[in-house]
């Protein structure tokens, strides 16, 4: 048997526990069967529970976005210096990174700001994960919050001084279509991205017998031009709001207790590794 990250969900052949795609387990290629690491090592359920908190990594908000921004900056620096050995340094000093590179740094700053606020919620029944990789994808989930009312999958966006707005068209004789506008641009693709992240999280929970847990997607805009009153809205099941409003959803009453919240956090942390 080889230890590997599972490409597909399965069940341990020893204890029948559900294993979500992305979790590390022992795979028997000939038998096409998987064994959870607890059974493979002879550990008991108590042993596994005792060590789970030590093994779990919460993650660092904005880390992968910052790495990508740094990589692009350094790549441009190397290209310019290689092409212009004599004046490369001067050219770099006189010009700035392209907008596509600066967007990564700006996005990372937004994730850091939101992550700091989420980490500051001082409650034992609110657990946070940051910067999680989606299995078999280059995409990631910025923040996952587990709390009494369920799981919130949060995509942080930083559009400085731009107002998110809901536009609904159609009506009596044509289908009603809702779109997300940020400033003058149609950014409905951001909603689609969050919906995909929500489905990933739901899949992990269902594979672990937690399919009844509520999962909600959020688009959280940092430094946006929000009105003094109201302003938040929902597009196709995704909440569009700012950090303060997101926090109110997170601290709302719910049916999950602190132990259940911790268990859900551990399941998600195991299946969705740090990006």
**What pTM was computed for the model?**
0.77
Report the distance separating Cα 212 and Cα 264, nearest Å: 12
**Measured distance CA(126)–CA(254) in Å, rounded:** 11
Q: What is the pLDDT of residue 146?
A: 98
Model pLDDT for residues 148-202, shown as the tens digit of each residue: 999 999 999 999 999 999 999 887 788 888 999 998 899 999 999 999 999 999 9
Edge-to-edge strand ranges of the sheet holding 238-241: 127-133, 140-147, 150-158, 215-222, 238-241, 233-235
- Nearest CA to 161 out of 242, 243, 225 is that of 225
> Is residue 75 scored above 70 in pLDDT?
yes
pLDDT tens sequence across 254-265: 999 999 999 999
Nearest alpha carbon to residue 77 among 100, 49, 98, 50: 98
Is the pLDDT at 24 greater than 60? The verdict is yes
Output the six-digit token pair for 124: 């034992």
- pLDDT at residue 239 tops 90: yes
Give the bridge partners for 150, in sequence order.
147
Using CA atoms, how far residue 99 sits from 72, 89, 92, 109, 143, in Å, is 11, 20, 15, 15, 24
Q: Is residue 49 very low, low, confident or very high in pLDDT (cuts 50, 70, 90)?
A: very low
Q: What is the pLDDT of residues 97-144, one digit of tens each?
A: 888 888 888 888 999 999 999 999 999 999 999 999 998 888 899 999
The yes-or-no verdict on residue 44 having pLDDT over 50 is: no
């Amino acid at each position: 048997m080889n230890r590997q990250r599972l490409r597909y969900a399965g069940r341990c052949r020893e204890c029948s526990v559900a294993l979500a795609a992305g979790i590390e387990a022992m795979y028997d290629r000939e038998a096409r069967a998987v064994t959870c690491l607890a059974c493979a090592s002879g550990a008991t359920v108590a042993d596994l529970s005792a060590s789970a908190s030590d093994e779990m990594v919460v993650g660092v908000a904005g880390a992968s976005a910052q790495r990508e921004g740094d990589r692009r900056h350094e790549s441009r620096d190397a290209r310019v210096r290689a092409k212009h050995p004599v004046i490369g340094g001067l050219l770099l000093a006189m010009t700035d990174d392209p907008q596509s590179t600066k967007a990564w740094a700006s996005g990372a700053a937004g994730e850091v700001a939101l992550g700091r606020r989420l980490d500051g919620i001082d409650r034992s029944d609110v657990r946070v994960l940051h910067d999680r990789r989606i299995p078999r994808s280059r995409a990631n989930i910025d923040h996952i919050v587990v709390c009494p009312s369920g799981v919130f999958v949060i995509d942080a966006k930083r559009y400085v001084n731009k107002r998110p707005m809901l536009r609904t068209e159609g009506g009596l004789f044509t289908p009603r279509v809702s779109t997300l506008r940020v400033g003058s641009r149609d950014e409905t693709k951001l909603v689609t991205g969050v919906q995909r992240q929500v489905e990933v999280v739901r899949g992990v929970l269902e594979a672990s017998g937690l399919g009844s847990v509520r999962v909600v997607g959020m688009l959280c805009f940092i430094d946006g031009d929000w009105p003094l009153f109201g302003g938040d809205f929902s597009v196709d099941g995704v909440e569009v709001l700012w950090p303060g409003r997101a926090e109110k959803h997170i601290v709302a009453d719910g049916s999950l207790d602190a132990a259940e919240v911790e268990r859900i956090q551990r399941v998600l942390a195991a299946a969705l590794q740090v990006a």
